[in-house]
Amino acid sequence: GLTIVELHQQAGTVALTARATQPSACCPRCTAESTHVHSYYTRRPHDLPLVGYMLRLLLHVRRWRCRNGACATTTFCEPLPGLLAPSAQRTLRLTTTLQALGLALGGEAGARQSQRQAMPTSPDTLLRLTRTIAIPAPVAPRVLAVDDFAFRKGRTYGTILVDGEQHHPVDLLPERSAAALAAWLQEHPGVEIITRDRAHEYARGANDGAPQALQVLDRWHLIGNLQEALARLLDRLRSRLQALLTTPCDGDKGSSGPAPRSIYDRDLRRGTKDQVAQQQSRARRHARYAEVKALHRQGLKILQIARTLEISRQTVRRYIASEQFPEISQQPRQPSILDPYVAYLQERWDAGCRANKQLYTELQALGYRGSIRPVVQWTLLRREQPPEGMQRSGRKPARQVELFVGAETAPQVPAGKPKLPGSQSLAWLLLEEATSLTAAKQQLVEPLKQDADLTMACSLAQRFLSMVRKRRPEELGPWLEAVLASGIGELVTFAVGLQRETVNVRAAVELPYSNGVAEGNVTRLKQIRRAMYGRGNFDLLRIRVLVAA
Ligand SMILES: [Zn+2]
């Protein structure tokens, strides 16, 4: 119903003038056809860009008169279905494009992209448009996986509901509370099975909102809880286990003389950027550990401490349980291309050869294929003072590393002796099946088996895993009895917790459903939240998660 009159270009903008030519129009209220024009006017909406130029429409349209005496409308504007809504500033196709941009990139990045694509929009407008996207009303699935996600870690949480069979997100709730879940379940009846973690809120919410539904504990959360219990045990036994690791090594280490130094045996007065950062983060963690201990001594509850310090309850529980500051395990260093030549290098160094170029040439003759850089790094660590030449070239002195040692720190393990990994990773290691461990890991675990408590805990944990993997609910009862009889406090606490909801644990072992589907969606949700910068308001987050699904 529009005829193009002219195309006019001016300073990066194209103006397209068009005239409405329809001989009649229908009243939007009573649908009666009218041929009576009331007045003429011009609308100037933005449209999708034209060959890289911003496009503005100049539409000469009319206001029509409704002749139906029974209709409350006297005049109405030119209907432009599919192109432009009444009183809109943008064409429908531009709005849809901007909504997709806001959905995919969020406000800031989306606005930048809109500039580049010749349809400039502010972040706020983009988000406002994104908010108007209509999302289909959620339908209750047969199997519902319930999980939480953090708006701010340790502080505020929301709930994500996922279809346990189709694996797509069903809805997002702004809080992690029994009331919110119960209300949703009441509004969306029909859920038969609910998989959830062991948080009391979701248990209560499911009981209140869908009492007829079978609640299934999530297997991965169960295994995670088991790992946490094991890690707390490891924290408690730490010094005992470390002793087991180091004692038997004394004999052979002493006889073989000092091990050849490798490129990474760094002089601690000069460290890499990484070492500085590592020590700083360790100092931060140690300070937090001390704070947790202090608040705990003052009698604060775990939840209160977590809220005060804005850390997770799990971390608080771990810190309270461990007698020593729990170290996190360090990644083993990558092998260096210089490694096979370090013994020779040391020999030449001891013989007094200090020239990098000379050493490098000699190594090349021996077959060394790397650059001179590792050689320079190696010698640099062994020089008392930087050589004259380097000082004159104006190079800054190497960074100073202050090794941070807290009062409650674990005793330093002498270099060259194996160090016990952090409790978290060691706990996962102990949960792995012995046959799937690499030789190095097996070597690490082997001496720990001398500890009777740990060995018993491991065998109980393995039994639990195999029961879950092989889906043998009939083994649950005997397993619980065995744990309670073991007297290992950390596992007993775990078992007592399970006993309170035996039915749900049994269902978890028996049925194929798990929250794994929810976890995957939580990961995706985190990525979306990161892309939305500071503007991740809940309604937007919900639209992005549900529409982009
Ligand atoms: Zn009418």
pLDDT in tens, 13-57: 899 999 998 899 999 999 999 999 999 999 999 999 988 899 999
**197 C-alpha vs ligand 1 centroid, how far in Å?**
58
Report the chain's mean pLDDT, rounded to a whole number: 81
Angle between helices 423-431 and 452-469 (to 10 degrees): 60
Tokens 């799937």 sit on residue: 436
**38 C-alpha vs ligand 1 centroid, how far in Å?**
14
520-547 exposure pattern, b = at least 16 Cβ within 10 A, e = fewer: ebbeebeebbebbeeebeeebbbbbbbe
**83 C-alpha vs ligand 1 centroid, how far in Å?**
22
**77 C-alpha vs ligand 1 centroid, how far in Å?**
12
Distance CA 3, CA 408 (A): 83
Contact between residue 248 and residue 447 where contact means Cβ atoms under 8 Å apart: yes
**184 C-alpha vs ligand 1 centroid, how far in Å?**
42
Distance CA 312, CA 289 (A): 13
> What is the Cα Rg of the chain in Å?
34
**73 C-alpha vs ligand 1 centroid, how far in Å?**
5
Per-residue pLDDT, averaged over 496-515, amounts to 84
**85 C-alpha vs ligand 1 centroid, how far in Å?**
18
Residue-wise pLDDT for 225-237, tens only, equals: 899 999 999 988 8
Compute the CA torsion angle 415, 420, 423, 427 (nearest 10 deg): 150
With bands split at pLDDT 50, 70 and 90, how would you rate the model's confidence at 543?
confident
**Residues 277 and 352 placed together within one structural domain of the fold:** yes
**Residues 357 and 448 placed together within one structural domain of the fold:** no
Positive/negative CA dihedral, 353, 354, 358, 361: positive
Residue-wise pLDDT for 434-445, tens only, equals: 777 777 777 788
Category of 263 on φ-ψ map: left (φ > 0), alpha (ψ -120 to 50) or beta = alpha
Whole domain around residue 522: which residue ranges?
143-218+514-547
Side-chain half-sphere exposure of 177, counting CA atoms within 13 A: 6
**375 C-alpha vs ligand 1 centroid, how far in Å?**
89
**Residues 451 and 380 placed together within one structural domain of the fold:** no
Nearest to 127 by CA among 521, 549, 522, 544: 544
**328 C-alpha vs ligand 1 centroid, how far in Å?**
74
Q: Supply 37's token pair.
A: 């024009």
**222 C-alpha vs ligand 1 centroid, how far in Å?**
65
**478 C-alpha vs ligand 1 centroid, how far in Å?**
78
**Residues 468 and 525 placed together within one structural domain of the fold:** no
Nearest to 443 by CA among 420, 473, 467: 420
With bands split at pLDDT 50, 70 and 90, how would you rate the model's confidence at 329?
low
Give the percent of the chain with pLDDT over 90.
Answer: 23
List the Cα angle 9/12/18 in 5-degree steps: 40
**68 C-alpha vs ligand 1 centroid, how far in Å?**
6
Within a domain: residue 196? yes
Lowest pLDDT segment from 156-160, 281-285, 406-410, 513-517 = 406-410
**74 C-alpha vs ligand 1 centroid, how far in Å?**
7
**Residues 467 and 505 placed together within one structural domain of the fold:** yes
Residue 373 has a pLDDT of 85
Within a domain: residue 115? no
Say if residue 422 is exposed, middle or buried (CB neighbours under 10 Å; 0-12, 13-18, 19+): middle
**Residues 276 and 331 placed together within one structural domain of the fold:** yes
Within a domain: residue 121? no
**66 C-alpha vs ligand 1 centroid, how far in Å?**
5
Compute the CA torsion angle 483, 487, 488, 492 (nearest 10 deg): 50
Residue 395 has a pLDDT of 44
Residue 399 has a pLDDT of 46
**34 C-alpha vs ligand 1 centroid, how far in Å?**
9
**27 C-alpha vs ligand 1 centroid, how far in Å?**
5
**Residues 83 and 199 placed together within one structural domain of the fold:** no
Residue-wise pLDDT for 238-249, tens only, equals: 888 888 876 544
Identity of the highest mean pLDDT range in 19-28, 134-143, 421-430: 19-28
**69 C-alpha vs ligand 1 centroid, how far in Å?**
8
**82 C-alpha vs ligand 1 centroid, how far in Å?**
21
Contact between residue 257 and residue 343 where contact means Cβ atoms under 8 Å apart: no
**405 C-alpha vs ligand 1 centroid, how far in Å?**
83
**36 C-alpha vs ligand 1 centroid, how far in Å?**
12
Q: Does residue 295 carry a pLDDT above 60?
A: yes
**18 C-alpha vs ligand 1 centroid, how far in Å?**
26
Residue 530 has a pLDDT of 66
Contact between residue 73 and residue 66 where contact means Cβ atoms under 8 Å apart: yes
Sequence-ordered strand ranges (E) for 66-154: 75-77, 143-152
> Residue 385 has what DSSP assignment?
S
Say if residue 420 is exposed, middle or buried (CB neighbours under 10 Å; 0-12, 13-18, 19+): buried
Residue 309 has a pLDDT of 85
**80 C-alpha vs ligand 1 centroid, how far in Å?**
17
Q: Supply 10's token pair.
A: 């001016």
Per-residue pLDDT, averaged over 484-497, amounts to 90
Q: Supply 288's token pair.
A: 């937090």
Q: Supply 482's token pair.
A: 């065995």
Sequence-ordered strand ranges (E) for 252-352: none
**33 C-alpha vs ligand 1 centroid, how far in Å?**
8
**86 C-alpha vs ligand 1 centroid, how far in Å?**
16
**78 C-alpha vs ligand 1 centroid, how far in Å?**
13
Residue 331 has a pLDDT of 56
Say if residue 58 is exposed, middle or buried (CB neighbours under 10 Å; 0-12, 13-18, 19+): middle
Contact between residue 196 and residue 206 where contact means Cβ atoms under 8 Å apart: yes
Residue 181 has a pLDDT of 94
Q: Are strands 75-77 and 143-152 parallel, antiparallel or unpaired?
A: unpaired
**333 C-alpha vs ligand 1 centroid, how far in Å?**
79
**Residues 272 and 381 placed together within one structural domain of the fold:** yes
Within a domain: residue 57? yes
**30 C-alpha vs ligand 1 centroid, how far in Å?**
4
Lowest pLDDT segment from 130-134, 174-178, 381-385 = 381-385
SS3 category, 27? coil
CA 141 to centroid of chain Cα atoms: 26
Counts of helices then strands in the chain (DSSP H, E): 22, 13
Residue 43 has a pLDDT of 94
Within a domain: residue 132? no
Number of domains in the chain: 4
**76 C-alpha vs ligand 1 centroid, how far in Å?**
8
| 141 Cβ contact list (under 8 Å, min separation 6) | 163, 164, 165, 166, 170, 191
**24 C-alpha vs ligand 1 centroid, how far in Å?**
13
**Residues 386 and 266 placed together within one structural domain of the fold:** yes
Residue 152 has a pLDDT of 66
**64 C-alpha vs ligand 1 centroid, how far in Å?**
10
Q: Give this complex's ipTM.
A: 0.95
List the Cα angle 344/346/347 in 5-degree steps: 65
Q: Does residue 504 carry a pLDDT above 60?
A: yes
**87 C-alpha vs ligand 1 centroid, how far in Å?**
18
Which amino acid, one-letter code, is at 161? L
**107 C-alpha vs ligand 1 centroid, how far in Å?**
40
Contact between residue 42 and residue 84 where contact means Cβ atoms under 8 Å apart: no
Per-residue pLDDT, averaged over 355-384, amounts to 84
Which amino acid, one-letter code, is at 223? I
**Residues 355 and 446 placed together within one structural domain of the fold:** no
List the Cα angle 39/42/43 in 5-degree steps: 125
CATH number at residue 521: 3.30.420.10
**67 C-alpha vs ligand 1 centroid, how far in Å?**
7
**Residues 278 and 380 placed together within one structural domain of the fold:** yes
SS3 category, 138? coil
Within a domain: residue 474? yes
**19 C-alpha vs ligand 1 centroid, how far in Å?**
23
Within a domain: residue 40? yes
**Residues 168 and 200 placed together within one structural domain of the fold:** yes
With bands split at pLDDT 50, 70 and 90, how would you rate the model's confidence at 298?
confident
**61 C-alpha vs ligand 1 centroid, how far in Å?**
18
Residue 247 has a pLDDT of 52
Q: Does residue 186 carry a pLDDT above 90?
A: yes
Distance CA 151, CA 158 (A): 7
Side-chain half-sphere exposure of 7, counting CA atoms within 13 A: 7
Decide which of 506 and 386 is more confident: 506
Residue-wise pLDDT for 59-78, tens only, equals: 999 999 998 889 998 999 99
Contact between residue 209 and residue 180 where contact means Cβ atoms under 8 Å apart: no
Distance CA 221, CA 308 (A): 26
Within a domain: residue 382? yes
**95 C-alpha vs ligand 1 centroid, how far in Å?**
28
CA 401 to centroid of chain Cα atoms: 31
Residue 479 has a pLDDT of 92
